[in-house]
Amino acid sequence: MSQTESYLAHKGFKSWALTMDHKRIGVMYLVTTHLFFLIGGFLALLLRLKLLSPGPALFSAHTYDVLFTMHGAMMIFLFIIPAIPSSLGNFFIPLLIGARDVAFPKLNLFSYYLFVSGILVILISLVQPIDTGWTFYTPFSAENSAAVTTVSFGLFLVGMSSILTGLNFIVTIHTLRAPGMTWYRLPLFIWGMYGTSVIQVLSTPVIGITFLLLVAERLFGVGFFDPAKGGDPLLFQHFFWFYSHPVVYVMILPAMGIISEVIPCFARKPIFGYKAIAYSALAIAFISFLVWGHHMFVSGMSTTAGVIFSFLTFFVAVPTGMKIFNWIATLYKGSISLDSPMLWALTFIFLFIIGGLTGLFLGSLATDVHVHDTYFLVAHFHYTMMGGTVMGLFSGLHYWYPKITGRMLDERWAKHAWWMIVVGFNVTFFPMFILGMQGMPRRYAEYPAKYHSLNVLATVGSWLLAVGIVIMFANFIRSLNRGAIAPANPWEALTLEWQVPSPPPEENFEVIPTVTDWPYSYGKETGDTRGK
């Protein structure tokens, strides 16, 4: 189809630093965010290493507090939130809808630099590393002597970047769809990204303003959150979770989008219940704004508020459960190949089910009182965030690696890594459910001896997990040069990005395609759509 140059053809620092190509910006985000995934993961290994012993060991409690704060803040703000939207979203939204770029390419590059400046500001804070936890609860964060103000400002910049990216995507999806690409012909990844972008645009300003209030509190002693001045420490928690709960769905919706692409392709079946999945993404985005109070059942909030938030929380389980059933139904009578993207997609479903079902104990008021702020909660959100979002991301990385780099991954090593990570993940995090049920609180630098053996088990699991992740990233890097040359469409998928060469030309499409069908016609008429 194309004789034009690949987007990777131009070399040199300037060709990257000043690029307005959504694909290059996507790759830049990919590298930046994954760097923080590796650093944040390394910090987690240190945390687990300390917890090998219940008493004082290895480093001080203060260092432990700094490390878990860094681990949480990096993983949440610099990795999970931007990882899929800003990297894979940037790279693939235009390709999937048949566009040449996003709606505002300059703004896109500007967003990247805002993101990087935010990171630089946060790095400055390492002079006086913060130990507030990633949740920054007042009054602890307001009175803290560490560089909370600096970090708040850095996160403010990162949030700005997030808002602009979301805005860019919304406009892109509305205005730049190829002829014939109606809303119901959109790949489900686009629906997921659309829901995510809406949440980013609507909720991120709230956290931005909250950080500004915190800064005003620290610098000028304003007293929004200080009871001595008539403020309310719980107000901060309301503001914080008004953003941070919807943002959980910023993390998960794009991953669900990836799963909705990979499952039909590798099962050679149309996605089951397209409209249900598409609308559930929007339903989740909407309801996500109404459930923040479930983080605060034991905070001192009124019983009535607790009851209402609990009810709304169970509401969000319905569209989430629907998606799980839809994916499983898609597998029925398929012709399933277990290549690495599919293995990761199935792993996503497997782990996300555990994450979702354990959420029932947290959504129910009576049981939440017991397991809240314990390791049960830690296990639950690692099953949903890492078992969910990150496994979805891994699926997407293995699925789209050939398109991004023009090379195939080594499938054998991908599977070695898969085994290690799946086993390591469960050995690390499953014991935490039991620890939490037994009452071990989170953020404990030292703990009573009765929790010792399960902590040892979790630490051993973290080593397996780490080895698996190292193997996976080694495979990513090694295959850049040594992987087999990728064909345009190695998975015989039907979405538009696979109809252009790997890696795609700079302009994506030589001629903007006209779309005549939805992208899930696997098995239609011939029963085999290969070569279509």
Shortest separation between residue 277's beta carbon and another protein, angstroms: 10
Say which DSSP state 483 is in: S
* 267 scored as a contact of another protein (CB under 8 A): yes
Identify which range of 75-83, 194-202, 210-218, 318-326 contacts another protein by CB under 8 A: 318-326
Shortest separation between residue 112's beta carbon and another protein, angstroms: 33
**Encoded tokens for 393:** 């991301």
* Nearest to another protein of 249, 451 (CB atom): 451
- Residue 503: cis peptide before it, omega within 30 degrees of 0: yes
Cα diameter, the chain: 74
* 126 scored as a contact of another protein (CB under 8 A): no
* Integer Cα distance of 80 and 168 in angstroms: 19
Identify which range of 3-11, 107-115, 241-249, 302-310 contacts another protein by CB under 8 A: 302-310
Identify which range of 25-33, 40-48, 440-448, 506-514 contacts another protein by CB under 8 A: 440-448
In one letter, which amino acid is 385?
M
Say which DSSP state 446 is in: S
Q: By CB under 8 A, how many residues form the interface with another protein?
A: 94
**Encoded tokens for 271:** 């996605």
Beta bridge partners of 485: 407
CB 97 within 8 Å of CB 186:
yes
In one letter, which amino acid is 108?
N
Beta bridge partners of 59: 57
Shortest separation between residue 21's beta carbon and another protein, angstroms: 34
* 286 scored as a contact of another protein (CB under 8 A): no
Among 123, 484, 528, 532, binds another protein (CB under 8 A): 528
3-state secondary structure 282-313: HHHHHHHHHCHHHHCCCCCCCHHHHHHHHHHH
* Nearest to another protein of 193, 371 (CB atom): 371
* Integer Cα distance of 166 and 81 in angstroms: 12
* Nearest to another protein of 221, 227 (CB atom): 227
| 41-70 footprint of another protein as x/- string (CB under 8 A) | -------------------xxx--x-----
List binders of another protein among 330-389 (CB under 8 A): 331-338, 346, 349-350, 353-354, 357-358, 360-361, 363-370, 372-374
Shortest separation between residue 308's beta carbon and another protein, angstroms: 10
* Nearest to another protein of 12, 230 (CB atom): 230
* Nearest to another protein of 510, 528 (CB atom): 528
* Nearest to another protein of 236, 509 (CB atom): 236
**Encoded tokens for 88:** 């894979």
- The helix (H) or strand (E) run that includes residue 321 is helix 303-331
